[in-house]
Amino acid sequence: MGARLGFMERPAMRVSGPTFDSADPISLAGFYERLLGWTIEASEGPRHGYPALDGWALLRSPEGDQKIEVQWELHHRPPTWPSVAGEPTMMVHMDIGVADLEEGVSWALAQGARMADHQPQSDVRVMLDPDGHPFCLFPDDRL
């Protein structure tokens, strides 16, 4: 049952994960597959009449409760981090907990990520995926 808000009852909802725009979605999905150890569950493309890099992919967590989708965007421009007036901003990013921050950074770099020039916190590393989407690695003592 949903929560009652005013005269409406909120329907059951669950966030399953983000969808990223990409100039090369199949390649970017492969990066996240290697980085996280998730499986590319489905992929499509290119569609008839579209460029060779057109496509879509769905990755799913081993538990099956989270997903990442990557979809082709003709006009994709990498986000700018930190933000700069008039340039695309990151709008959203993922936080990824790691057992050891240095090992997590090394692993991400080996999979094709790069470290952002701007690092605003000493205990978090801002990384950029191959398409420039920022994600943060942070120590997670639950791992």
| Percent of the chain residues past pLDDT 90, beyond the cut | 90
| pLDDT attached to residue 10 | 85
Q: Is the pLDDT of residue 15 over 90?
A: no
Q: What is the mean pLDDT of the chain?
A: 94
Q: Sketch out the chain's domains with CATH numbers.
A: 17-74 (3.30.720.120), 77-143 (3.10.180.10)
95 CB-near residues (< 8 Å, 6+ apart)? 135, 136, 138
Q: Is the pLDDT of residue 92 over 60?
A: yes
Confidence of residue 8 (pLDDT cuts 50, 70, 90): confident
3 state DSSP class of 120: coil
Q: CB of 46 within 8 A of CB of 53?
A: yes
Q: 104: which DSSP letter?
A: H
| pLDDT attached to residue 116 | 97
| pLDDT attached to residue 58 | 98
| pLDDT attached to residue 7 | 75
d(CA 111, CA 104) in angstroms, rounded, equals 11
d(CA 66, CA 49) in angstroms, rounded, equals 32
First vs last C-alpha separation in the chain = 32
| Percent of the chain residues past pLDDT 70, beyond the cut | 96
d(CA 143, CA 46) in angstroms, rounded, equals 38
Neighbouring CB atoms inside 10 A of 116's CB total 18
